[in-house]
Structure 1
């Protein structure tokens, strides 16, 4: 199984609009990827490697600080949004039967009263400004992908755009930008069954992933995990659970994981994920009959998934 690569330049962030002809071409390419594999690489999206690197660099500056400096920013410390903030090593396990994941993370949900780390880039850009700017860039790209996906299904663009109109409003939408840092690890010293990120599927509509190195694997229809390589300048986009429900299994949400490095490989790994969710009160109802899933709101579905991890 090879994850296809699609040139998205016809609808990149540098373009105000896309022609009907180009929309049809993109639609066919994404339809094939999302119905057969669940993943696709998009290149020439308008998000530059430099933008991604800025987020990774300032995130790494935060992650490399002592734990007592990071602790005040822990997830759950912010009354305005309990999901915003730092996640320490091994405190999160996406495969509940295995030890905690060997990664750190910082979740970003936009809210004017949330506290931010004080680290700054070499150009004196703040952690908050860099992450907020990148969040909004990912939002715009996500809406364009969702519009193409609506075209795949021969439905009006607003079918997916309207339920995502509040992305960036933390009280009414759970869309999250997540910076991830995987420290160097000696695989032979890891606990039995431990990974950098356990086997899981994503909860929302779609996910955009920017990665710095290898390690991600995607499960194929043959139930085998295959490598999802790092493509410079590429954005790896995948279908998440709610979108699979929404389309009555037409688009497929596929499980994936991040392996430990091979013995002797001491490299760190970074990635930045943008988890796109519909607005909290959206009722996700299958778009075809017979309906394979009962209606559910994003808030209820996420709560159910989080309970299953405990």
Structure 2
């Protein structure tokens, strides 16, 4: 399985003017990728490697702190948005049939004034860096949605109109900074992975990786290692978008395996999960009844129950 590489420079964050011809060309390339593979590498997006490294650097400083310094910022600590905050190792099970994932994360999904952010000298600038990167990813994602709508001959507002509240507490869009600590295969529980097999929940996901390790499921059910393309974003379709498009765009399972025996390296990634507004009703855009209508918020809550259990 080859993941296509698409040059997005014509509609990158640095471009204000894009021609209809350029949009049409991009729409054909994205449609091909999303109908056949579900993943695409996006290069020349306007988000720089330096921006990505800046977020990863401040995130790693946070993750390397003792757990007692991270607990005050734990997920479910903030009443206005229970998904915001730190998730400790083995708390989440993206494949509920496996033991907890060997990763930790920090979820940025609320900018409410009551949210408390890591602000010690060791992580100076944490809030500002994550907020800025979230907004950059949001702007890029909305451009991608516009091209996706065009590829299906839809009015762009079919998708864009359901994402008007990104960055508020009535929209589940989340920037996750992920850290995979060193792990000994011999000490891991039976069946345990760094990240269990799963598909993403919302509209689309932007993934920024520091190293290889991700595996993607192909059409025959085999998991194939995804390469890294320097400077490119790995972008994939998520579940609600598959429902929305009546399976025209496919949401594909993926995972992160344990490192090989003797490999004590860490892994980092940033994932921007774009979700429709909580009250947005997702129905099949072709008018069919292939999937029953569901609100984005209800679907997200259901999936969180599966991956976090009673935690």
The two structures have a TM-score, normalised by structure 1, of 0.97
1:262 aligned to which of 260, 263, 266 = 260
The aligned residue for residue 112 of structure 1 is 113
Residues 275 and 120 (structure 1), Cα distance of their counterparts in 2 relative to 1, 3 Å cut: farther
**Corresponding residue SS for 1:221:** coil
Question: For the aligned residues, what is the CA RMSD?
Answer: 1.2
Q: Could you tell me how far 1:245 is from its partner in structure 2?
A: 0.4
The aligned residue for residue 65 of structure 1 is 65
Residues 120 and 205 (structure 1), Cα distance of their counterparts in 2 relative to 1, 3 Å cut: farther
Instruction: Provide, for residues 71-126 of structure 1, a one-character-per-residue CA deviation record: whole Å limited to 9, x for no partner.
Output: 111101111211100000011111111110000000001222211001458xx951
Residue ranges of structure 1 left out of the alignment (5+ in a row): none
The aligned residue for residue 271 of structure 2 is 273
Q: Could you tell me how far 1:62 is from its partner in structure 2?
A: 0.3
Instruction: Provide, for residues 132-158 of structure 1, a one-character-per-residue CA deviation record: whole Å limited to 9, x for no partner.
Output: 000000000000000000001111111
d(CA) in 2 for partners of 1:17 and 1:296?
A: 36
Using the TM superposition, name which of 287-296 and 50-59 deviates more. Answer: 287-296
Moved over 4 A (4+): none
Residues 65 and 125 (structure 1), Cα distance of their counterparts in 2 relative to 1, 3 Å cut: closer
Contact 1:61/1:119 (<8 A) preserved: no
Contact 1:75/1:86 (<8 A) preserved: yes
d(CA) in 2 for partners of 1:13 and 1:142?
A: 10
Contact 1:105/1:179 (<8 A) preserved: yes
Residues 7 and 98 (structure 1), Cα distance of their counterparts in 2 relative to 1, 3 Å cut: same
d(CA) in 2 for partners of 1:93 and 1:259?
A: 14
d(CA) in 1 for partners of 2:33 and 2:113?
A: 38
Instruction: Provide, for residues 177-213 of structure 1, a one-character-per-residue CA deviation record: whole Å limited to 9, x for no partner.
Output: 0000000111222111000000000110000000100
Contact 1:218/1:257 (<8 A) preserved: yes
d(CA) in 2 for partners of 1:21 and 1:219?
A: 33
Residues 272 and 119 (structure 1), Cα distance of their counterparts in 2 relative to 1, 3 Å cut: farther
d(CA) in 2 for partners of 1:307 and 1:130?
A: 30
Contact 1:12/1:44 (<8 A) preserved: yes
d(CA) in 2 for partners of 1:203 and 1:12?
A: 25
| Structure-to-structure mapping, 1:84-99, within 5 angstroms | 84-99=84-99
Q: Could you tell me how far 1:288 is from its partner in structure 2?
A: 1.7
**Corresponding residue SS for 2:216:** strand
Q: Could you tell me how far 1:308 is from its partner in structure 2?
A: 3.1
Residues 88 and 17 (structure 1), Cα distance of their counterparts in 2 relative to 1, 3 Å cut: same
Residue ranges of structure 2 left out of the alignment (5+ in a row): none
Matched, 1:164 2:163: yes
Contact 1:216/1:258 (<8 A) preserved: yes
Q: Could you tell me how far 1:17 is from its partner in structure 2?
A: 2.9
d(CA) in 2 for partners of 1:294 and 1:70?
A: 40
The aligned residue for residue 144 of structure 2 is 145
